[in-house]
Each structure stands twice: as structure tokens, then as C-alpha cells.
Chain A
Amino acid sequence: NAGVTQTPKFQVLKTGQSMTLQCAQDMNHNSMYWYRQDPGMGLRLIYYSASEGTTDKGEVPNGYNVSRLNKREFSLRLESAAPSQTSVYFCASSEAGRRDYNEQFFGPGTRLTVL
């Protein structure tokens, strides 16, 4: 059981370039999430997918798009990268069946630098 996997682990982009961050989970979870982690800001939700076929905006969606490819995979795309998107990106998944047991399982993160 790999849990939640993310690729790549590191990436350096130039301003204006595009890229897609990949995420997959093997726990048969319904819900998946993308967060960014910035110093002093904690984790902020970018987009989430409550179930296969649905996606919704989180707290900081501007500049990002997502695709829930199937139940296992949830990708995050930066169409035109900006230096403000330099961050560590985490993917997570959860069963999301009950609010009080809403445990999310996290991937190892992708460290993205935009020059």
C-alpha cells in the first residue's frame, strides 16, 4: 500500500511555463484535495474533489485547474506559472464519510519553485 503518491517531488519553472502535478491514491477513497503550504500561512486548500466526477474550489483556486481523472487520480495544473505560486504542494485523500472522522491522508509533497 503506497497510500498517496505525488509526482514530481521537485520542480523548477520559469514564469509563464505550465505544468501538471500528479496525485494518486490506492486506498479507494472518495475525496481528494490539493493544498499549498507556505511559511506562516499553514496549509490552504486549493481545490478538492468530493467524489469522482466532481471538483470544487477551495480557499485559493486562482491560477490553478484540476482534473479528477478517475477515483484514484487527481491532478493539479498551473497554466501560466507565477513566482507567487512558489510553494510546497500537498495532495490528500479521505473517506469523507463522517465529519467527525474526517481523517485525511497526505502525500509527500511537491516542492515547486517559479523563477
Chain B
Amino acid sequence: AQRVTQPEKLLSVFKGAPVELKCNYSYSGSPELFWYVQYSRQRLQLLLRHISRESIKGFTADLNKGETSFHLKKPFAQEEDSAMYYCALSLFSNQGGKLIFGQGTELSVKP
């Protein structure tokens, strides 16, 4: 069965510290993975997608097929990074695309 697991409900770090939000997936095919972010009082929005191999707001995520992981990392956390982060797995068929979300990790960056 397809599943996304984010083991940490809450991650609290100090400003300037490195951050790693964990995401593990279970999927028999070739995975397409995303990170979505929800800032306070804002809509859920796409942060980055694995296929693009891009860095957004200093965040990167590398797909590790051997460990079935897609951890989100940032070398120096900022207070404005405080938000809810969701890892998501894309499923696609001729019936359209669905996302399977993890449980979410709340990141709190303290001054």
C-alpha cells in the first residue's frame, strides 16, 4: 500500500541551526514526491518537488530510493520558516492525479 510517514509531529530549533524534517514513503513504483508548506493563516502551498532538484527558500530535499526517504533540509533555519510541513507522494493514472500526504511536521524556529 502507498503510504507517507513523517515521524516527528513537532520539531523545535533555534534560529541559525540546521533543520531536517524526515519523510519516508512506501510505494512499489517509481515515486514522485513533494513538500507542501502551510504558514500560519495561509493556504497550503507547494514548497518543492523532487523532480526539479531545486532549492526553495534555502530548503532542499533529496530522494533516496534505497532508504525510501525524501527528507527536507535547510542549513540555517530562520524564524519565518516556522510552519506546518507536509510530505506528499503523487499517484497518477488515467483517472487523474492524487496526492498521499504524510501526517505533517510542525516546525518551530525560536529566536
**Contact flag A99-B95 (CB < 8 Å), given A41-B103, A106-B45:** no
- A90 is an interface residue with CB less than 8 A from chain B: yes
Among B44, B49, B101, B103, max chain A CB count under 10 A is at B44
Asked if B86 and A100 make an inter-chain contact with CB atoms under 8 angstroms apart, the answer reads no
Asked if A96 and B97 make an inter-chain contact with CB atoms under 8 angstroms apart, the answer reads yes
Residues on A facing B (Cβ under 8 Å)? 30-31, 33, 35, 40-45, 48-51, 54, 56, 58, 90, 92, 94, 96, 98-109
Ordered by A's residue number, 26 sampled pairs between the chains whose C-beta atoms are within 8 Å are A30-B96, A31-B96, A31-B97, A33-B98, A33-B99, A42-B4, A42-B6, A42-B86, A48-B98, A50-B96, A50-B97, A90-B44, A94-B97, A99-B90, A99-B92, A99-B97, A100-B51, A100-B90, A102-B97, A103-B34, A103-B49, A104-B46, A105-B45, A106-B44, A107-B43, A109-B43
Beyond the given A43-B104, A99-B92, could you list 20 further A-B residue pairs with CB under 8 A, ordered by the A residue number? A30-B96, A31-B96, A31-B97, A41-B103, A42-B104, A43-B86, A43-B101, A49-B96, A50-B96, A56-B95, A94-B97, A96-B97, A98-B92, A100-B90, A101-B51, A102-B34, A102-B99, A104-B46, A106-B44, A107-B43
